[in-house]
Each structure stands twice: as C-alpha cells, then as structure tokens.
Amino acid sequence: MPHTISRRSFIEATGALAATLTTTASATSPVQSTAAQLKGQPLPGGVRLPATPPRRKRDDSVGIAIIGLGGYALNQIMPRIDHAERMHIAALVSGNPAKLAQVGDAYGVPTDARYSYADFDRIVADDRIQAVYVILPTAFHADFTIRAFAAGKHVLCEKPMALSSTECEAMIAAGRRANRKLMIAYRCHFEPYNVEAMRLMREKAVGTIRLIRTDQSYRAGPTTPAQNWRFNRALAGGGPLEDYGIYGLQSALYLSGEMPESISAATFQPKGDPRFAEIFAHVATQLTFPSGAVAQLATSYDAAGANLAQVRGTDGTLIIDPATGYAGHRMRIEGRDARDFTPGDPTTQFAAQLNHFANAIRDDTPILTGGEMGLRDIRLIEAIYASAREGRTVKLAPDGRMRG
Ligand SMILES: NC(=O)c1ccc[n+]([C@@H]2O[C@H](COP(=O)([O-])OP(=O)(O)OC[C@H]3O[C@@H](n4cnc5c(N)ncnc54)[C@H](OP(=O)(O)O)[C@@H]3O)[C@@H](O)[C@H]2O)c1
C-alpha cells in the first residue's frame, strides 16, 4: 500500500521526528500546544469561482493536484494557474467534501480526481497528476511532500518549508530518493520589482551595502489558537517570523547576496492576550554579514501594517515599500543617482513561479528556489529563536547551521 510505504519512509527518514517537534515547540515557547490535526474548513469569504472551467493550454502541460482549498489556494493560486502556459489543475485534495464538490465543478476537475486527505495516497495510480502543490498549514508540509514523493510526483510546497530543519532534511531526502523536483513557493524570486532589485544590488546601484532594514507587520484581530491556525504553535511554529517575517529574511539574503555569519534576536510574547497564548507577537533580528553589512529585521502580528525592504549603501538607498505583496509594489533609489522604478506587473509573479516549476519538470532545468533554500531559511529561523531564548549572539556556518 503506498500509504503504508510513504508513512514508513517518512518515519525512517525523520527518525524521532515527533520527539524533535515537541522539543522545538517547548524550546521556543513556555506554552505547549495541542497536536496538529488535519481539518477541512469552510469556503473562505470573497472567493470568486470561475464561471466556466479553465482549459488546458498545451499538450506538455503539467497536471497539478492542489492540496488544501484555503484562502491562498482559492483566491490567488488557482485563478492564476490559467495564466501559466504549461500547467493545469488535474486534481484537488480537501478535507471538506462539499467545498471539494463545489470547487471541483467550477474548475472542471473530474469527480474521480477529487481526493480527501485520507485517500490522498491513491494519487500514485493517477497518471493525470505529475505534481502536487502543498498549500496547507505548515505542520502538514513535510508529511504531504514526502507522501507525494512516495507516489512519484513532483512537489511545489508553500513557505515556510516546514516546522523544523529536521523535517526539511527529510523532505529533501525523499525527493532525492524519488528522483523528483522540490520547489519552495518563494514567489518574490519571480516578481519583477524584487528581481530588478536583486539586479540593482548586484550592480552596486547604491554602492557598497552597509545597512538593510526589513519590516513585515500587521495587527491581527481578536482570535485564538483554536480559531486560527496561524496562532496555533503546533500548526504554525513560532508565529509572524515563519509566516510574514520570512519575506524580510529572504529579502535581506537576496538583496545582500550574502549569508549571515551571526544572528542576535529578541522575541516578545505578551501575557493575557489569547492571540499570543502560543506564539510570539513579534520578533526582532539582527544579522551580521561577512562583508560587515548588518540587517535589522522586524516582524509582528501586533503592530501597524508595514511591508518594507530598504538597503542603505555607501552611495544611496534602495527602498521597496510595499516590498513583497501580491501587487502594488513601489521602488525607488534615493541618494547620488535618485530614480523611481516600474519594472513590470507584480501580479505576473504567480504564473512565472508556476511556469518555472513546470519547465523544471518538463525540461529538467534547475529550480531557483529549491528545498535547500527552504532548509537554509528554517535553519536561520531556528538560530533566531535560539539567540532570543539564550540571550546570546549565535554564530553560523555558511549553510546556516548554528556553530557551537
Ligand atoms: N506565498 C504566499 O504569498 C502565501 C500567502 C498566503 C498563504 N501562504 C501559505 O499557504 C499555506 C496555506 O495558507 P492559507 O492562507 O491558504 O490558509 P487557510 O486559508 O487557513 O487555508 C488552509 C487550508 O488548509 C486545510 N487544512 C487542513 N487542516 C487544517 C487545519 N487543521 N486548520 C486549518 N486549515 C487546515 C483547509 O483546506 P480544506 O478545507 O480544503 O481541507 C484550509 O482551508 C500556508 O503554508 C501559508 O504560509 C502563502
């Protein structure tokens, strides 16, 4: 049975993974959380389903199974798959049968290509599916990635890659064993403003980089860990850093072009606020790079909205504000060579990301945002929490592992 094989291979690959997860949770917070459980959800508000099912565009189009019909899948990704030349929706996986039927009908997905979480492993026998897109709460990323690889499918997995570096390593190993592609859905690498910013920084448009600042914050409404998975440690990890701050962390790395050699950080978990019973309200981090450049990253679920990336060099300052959203980016350089930039339509990032994955599968081309990048970031997040917990600067190896 594929299910048995994949579960066994998962456990073999991860060793005492359950124990590791418990340790990680208790290491980052004094509060223990309940175990993560798959649970179908209602159709999110504001979803506009297609009036007519989208059509497959090419013979060599990659058939993808969407796992998890939540807000991001239904509002952002599924409508954009129609814009991706080489991909089509081949199957759906959901824990809510009524929503599965409604969405399946709207997208023209055959009834025998609609799966529950329990019968997901049957995709091994479904040749219409070449790849899966994991769009579930973080706690389930590793399990479904490893099960998809066991079924011989390629995997596009949402950020953050997983709850721990142990899980990330198991996902990468499973992909290698299956000889299948693993991509982490870091869409900013395909978004015209961020791509242009990377090019400008490589060309030293602000001179030598000295200081980087990123800020990814919003103020969450009243909620509890039981009502919203993003506030539930077992499902989401430590909170805003994994969910939103990861964009600032990514920006600091791809704009500087460096890996940090040390990290110091502070976390804040206010008492008596149900939103933060299990997760942190904010995380502030300082990265020091080998060049001497320093990045200061702030992320919060309890501060007024911000989505900023700023790079201050010897000759000027690059400002992207907003920096990493779905649309509405603004970018300028202030200083010696001041100018504004409008490099393209940010909404093309979705189709560009999907086509990159499809091309990697069909043409065997390298993936820009592979599992190693996701693992690197989770290692850095673990180092951030270790620094905050232990009140010390953490030194890093070039691959992001903590030294000592
Ligand atoms: N790249 C980006 O810009 C971006 C933006 C937003 C989110 N994301 C990522 O996408 C993933 C999903 O986020 P989302 O915003 O779509 O979340 P969401 O709206 O809450 O949807 C999550 C879906 O996961 C399924 N699910 C299974 N067990 C669940 C449980 N115990 N609690 C909640 N949901 C459960 C449900 O689908 P069914 O009802 O079909 O079973 C649910 O609708 C996360 O990894 C997130 O980080 C990425």
Atom of ligand 1 nearest to the CA of 95: 41
The predicted pLDDT at position 336 comes to: 85
The predicted pLDDT at position 322 comes to: 98
212 C-alpha to center of ligand 1: Å? 31
Catalytic residue IDs: 159, 247
Helix (H) or strand (E) holding 193: helix 192-202
Query: pLDDT per position in the chain (404 positions), as tens?
Result: 333 333 333 333 333 333 333 323 333 333 444 579 999 999 999 999 999 999 999 999 999 999 999 999 999 999 999 999 999 999 999 999 999 999 999 999 999 999 999 999 999 999 999 999 999 999 999 999 999 999 999 999 999 999 999 999 999 999 999 999 999 999 999 999 999 999 999 999 999 999 999 999 999 999 999 999 999 999 999 999 999 999 999 999 999 999 999 999 999 999 999 999 999 999 999 999 999 999 999 999 999 999 999 999 999 999 999 999 999 999 999 998 899 999 999 999 999 999 999 999 999 999 999 999 999 999 999 999 999 999 999 999 999 999 97
Contact 54, 107 (CB under 8 A): yes
Atom of ligand 1 nearest to the CA of 187: 1
The predicted pLDDT at position 35 comes to: 76
| Residue linked to tokens 């502030």 | 284
Helix (H) or strand (E) holding 114: strand 114-115
230 C-alpha to center of ligand 1: Å? 9
135 C-alpha to center of ligand 1: Å? 6
Atom of ligand 1 nearest to the CA of 158: 45
Beta bridge partners of 156: 133, 183
pTM over 0.85: yes
The predicted pLDDT at position 138 comes to: 98
100 contact partners, CB below 8 Å, separation of at least 6: 69, 92, 94, 114, 116
Tell me the pairing of strands 294-300 and 209-219.
parallel
The predicted pLDDT at position 6 comes to: 36
The predicted pLDDT at position 34 comes to: 57
In terms of CATH architecture, what is 2-188+364-370? 3-Layer(aba) Sandwich (3.40)
Among 136, 246, 329, residue to substitute to test ligand 1 (most atoms within 8 Å of Cβ): 136
233 C-alpha to center of ligand 1: Å? 15
Contact 84, 30 (CB under 8 A): no
Distance (Å, rounded) from C-alpha 302 to C-alpha 367? 35
Domain 191-344+377-395: which CATH number of 3.30.1280.10, 3.30.1010.10, 1.10.1660.10, 3.30.360.10: 3.30.360.10
| Residue linked to tokens 């350089």 | 333
Q: Where are the domains of the chain?
A: 2-188+364-370, 191-344+377-395
User: Residue 385's closest CA among 164, 228, 167, 170?
Assistant: 164
The predicted pLDDT at position 15 comes to: 32
Ligand 1 cavity residues, CB under 6 Å: 37-41, 44, 68-73, 94-96, 99, 135-138, 158-159, 185, 187, 229, 235, 243
